[in-house]
Structure 1
Amino acid sequence: MIIENIDNPHELEKLFRKDPKAFKKSFSQAWEQKPDSQVLTVWYERLHFKETTNTDKTSFLQKGFLFMGILAILAGISSRIIFHFVEQEAIAPLNLAFGILPFIAAYFVYNNTTKKNVIYTLALLFLISAVYLNMLPINYIDSTILAYLHLPIFLWGLVGLAYTGNEYSKGSTRLAYLKFNLEFGILYAGMAISGMVLAALTMQLFSFVDLNIEDFYFRNVVLFGAAALAVMATYLVSMDLKLAKNITPYIAKIFSPLVLVTLLIYLITVILVGKNPFLDRNFLMVFNGILLIVLAVTIFSITESGTDENKNIFDYINFSLIVLALIIDSVALSAIVFRLSSYGITPNRLAVLGVNIIIWANLIWIMLSYMRFLQNKTGSSTVQDAVTKYLPVYALWAAFVTFTFPLIFN
């Protein structure tokens, strides 16, 4: 059949897609009969092509892999040591972040051949953050809790600086960092679930011989493994792992319409029930939580939309999500201003006011960019720019709350 359709490229492609294995098996016989055919020569290269360049990059024991292994071990050891002091209540639990994030940043710095000034900036900011965190009193007053909540966002920004390296000002590199976060989350979750299954199986096996190893296993294996897996997942995503890259666009497309429908139903129900975020503090907190979820889903949907200039139904879903988020933020912002004017200034109210203003401005920018895109006035890159160019603002606000609120309000 291959020889019969040698002058029919469409039919050859159809045969190949119908049964690739049978096609390859039959092709060798056709190739023996027609070795001078230019068409079969092209198909021969297609079926037997092997990458011969940069083979050192695909080696399992390559230099990058060994460096990742060292960092993973160091992350596991550091996390175990830090956890010991956390148990003694000598330091805050948030210090565990310094057992993982600096090592992920170190891998990015190594992988990107980053300039010295960026490396020095990262090292200095990580050091200042660690020292400052441990200068805070270990208590649970509002300003300290706000510092604990905002410091991870600032550290996330530092990891982003390490990821972007010398190209920290480029929107495309920042967009790649957002995609990395989603792919990392999916891969790490899968590895963590596998690890939990292994842990449960191990403890069950030891329980059969009347040995309770739960406490020992958590302290010395689970904790070490969780930290080391974070570095390993970083390496795997950076190595262009196809699984995570192939699944993330589908997750974005599945969750966007689901979140939109769910929130519309929820908001209608809230109106009918008569909940008031102006008077109900707990409901206002829930309202802000919803806002953050919608913002996260929208941003990841935009990052996974690619650079295709053709509009589709998901662009309109994303735009609807942005409008919905803007409505939620406007209501939350009004409620916060009302509470500030009625009950006075507190660290919590001021922090929530600031983050809502920042999100509101970002949503306005994204919405206007999306409107121009849907009206064929600009390309999709302007929408992505509205996301990526604003990222440092979140990190700067997190730094402001972390480093000034405990000083101002204490």
Structure 2
Amino acid sequence: MGNNNLIIENMADPQALERLYRKEPEIFKKAFSYAWEHNPDSQVLAAWHERLYFKETEHTEKTSLPLKNFLFMGILAILAGISSRIIFHYVEQEAIAPINLIFGVLPFIAAYFVYNSKPRKNVIYTIALLFLVSGFYLNILPLELKDSTILAYLHLPVFLWVLLGLAFTGNEHGIGQTRLAYLKFNGEFCILYASMAISGMLLTALTMQLFSFVGMDISQFYFKNVVLFGAAALAIVAAYLVSGNLKLSKNIAPYIAKIFSPLVLVTLIVYLITVIWVGKNPFLDRNFLLSFNGILLSVLAVTIFSITESGKDEKKNISDFINFALIVLALIIDSVAFSAIVFRLSSYGITPNRLAVLGVNILIWANLIWIMITYMHFLKNKTGPLAIQNAVTKYLPVYGLWAAFVTFAFPLIFK
């Protein structure tokens, strides 16, 4: 009690309090609780309270928050695995379309993003409503594989991917840097998920071999109940690790972008020269036109990945010139594909497939023009890398709107 009285008696004398603390820190700390309890309005004791307990509070918060995130991630991963297994059962029965399997994963990743970003209620309600509407609409479509239905199946994941971006960005969905962070997340997520999936495949091969030694074929059971569950749960785990600033994927992604971009550029140049040499014609060959558009999408994805991993460095390097060459090459491919689809529309009439491909080509062409112009300004020192990144991020909702239009409107228009 003597120490308690000394602390209370010297509340107006900071030097005396400091002397008492340095003389016997542990006793002072124990005695302080009595003084603080009886003088909660004292500004001096409030400052001492922060000094004595701030580190402990900070440490507690730092340890409890990751634990909560980990537990929440674990629950979502289990739910994703169970949901995917249930959905697969109905897919096997041919009661629903296989595309429904995305609802065993994406809503749970969205839930984790919402948990992290803490968006406003109207944003949460919008995300939840659009997921519900998408799932309901998808399952009232006829299971017959008509062109319009297949297009809806192909475009729905794109729409849900943009919706996932809304969950990731939360209240900052209009900010370019937050959208850029979402694009970076996708690149790092793919790298990490692929790495873990390879490990999973090795484990699967080992398990199959071990059970084959005792004369048991567990392949079907293992795929339905372990591989499917694990693939869905692994997506949630990968999202958690990347969101938690896992250094492995963040350190690898820029190097992959720098190595992969020039390889893609050289491969495509050789491929286009070969195409011209052998006389392939996308105007007359439908399958070749589809592959041409597939190449276009691949080049666009590689270019965007490379741009998002380039950072904010104002200095130009060889990667920037490679990116610009990829953009120009993609623009050439898109122009050829656009001309070919217009030719086929005018020659053979309107079909859902042709109209969908035309729309995609127009959107990509406009986006590539925007990116190319900003890149030219950057290479001429008229602007910084932020303008290039804005040309990428600000266009994302456009792709989402087109995907939504094809998904929800085409089955109604082309019955």
Task: With the length of structure 2 as denominator, give the TM-score of the two structures.
Answer: 0.85
Structure 2 partner of 1:194: 199
In the alignment, is residue 303 of structure 1 matched against residue 282 of structure 2?
no
The equivalent of 2:170 in structure 1 is 165
1:276 equivalent to 2:269? Answer no
Does 2:180 correspond to 1:182?
A: no
Distance 1:373 1:361 in 2: 19
Given the alignment of the two structures, is residue 107 of structure 1 paired with residue 136 of structure 2, yes or no?
no
State the match for 1:96 in structure 2. 101
State the number of aligned residues.
361
* Whole-angstrom distance in 1 between the partners of 2:216 and 2:82: 25
C-alpha displacement of 1:154: 0.4
CA deviation after TM superposition for structure 1 residue 59, in Å: 5.8
Question: Contact 1:56–1:62 (CA<8 Å) still a contact in 2?
Answer: no
* Alpha-carbon shift at residue 57 of structure 1 (Å): 3.0
Match of 1:307, SS state, is coil
What's the counterpart of residue 13 of structure 1?
none
Letter in 1 for 2:172: E
Give the equivalent residue in structure 2 for 1:153. 158
Q: Which has the larger radius of gyration?
A: 2
Aligned with residue 266 of structure 1, among 249, 271, 285: 271
Aligned to 1:404, which of 403, 406, 409? 409
The structural deviation recorded for 1:55 is 5.5
> Which residue does 1:35 correspond to in 2?
none
Paired residue for 1:208? Answer: 213
2:17 matched residue in structure 1: none
Contact 1:100-1:231 within 8 A present in 2 as well: yes
Structure 1 segment 3-402 matched on structure 2, within 5 A:
53-54=58-59, 56-58=61-63, 62-402=67-407
Look up the equivalent residue of 2:250 and give its one-letter code. Answer: K
Per mean C-alpha deviation after superposition, the further-off stretch among 352-361 and 271-280 is: 271-280
What SS does structure 2 have at the residue aligned with 1:376? coil
Q: CA deviation at 1:56?
A: 3.7
- The separation in 2 between residues aligned to 1:342 and 1:106, in whole angstroms, is 47
Q: Secondary structure at the match of 2:102?
A: helix
Amino acid at match of 1:301: S
Separation in 1, partners of 2:246, 2:64: 15
Q: 1: CA distance between counterparts of 2:361 and 2:159?
A: 17
SS where residue 65 of structure 1 aligns? helix
Measure the CA separation in 2 of the matches of 1:390 and 1:346.
Answer: 26
* Structure 1 residue runs of 4 or more that deviate by more than 4 Å after TM superposition: 50-55, 58-61
For 1:137 and 1:352, the matched residues in 2 are separated by 22
Which one-letter code corresponds to 1:273 in the other structure?
A: V
TM-score by length of 1: 0.86
Residue ranges of structure 2 left out of the alignment (5+ in a row): 1-54
- Where do 5+ consecutive residues of structure 1 fail to align? 1-49
What displacement does 1:274 show? 1.1
Q: What whole-Å deviation, never above 9, does each CA across 1:366-403 have from its counterpart, x for those lacking one?
A: 00000111111111100000000001101110000000
- What displacement does 1:213 show? 1.2
Give, as a single letter, the amino acid of the residue that structure 2 aligns with 1:81: I
Q: Distance in 1 between matches of 2:114 and 2:284?
A: 48
User: Partners of 2:230 and 2:90 in 1: how far apart?
Assistant: 19
Q: 1:60 Cα deviation (Å)? A: 9.0
Q: Which moved more, 1:396-405 or 1:279-288?
A: 279-288
* Partner SS state of residue 139, structure 2: helix
Match of 1:9 in 2: none
Letter in 1 for 2:101: L
Partner SS for 1:136 = coil
Shift of 1:299: 0.4
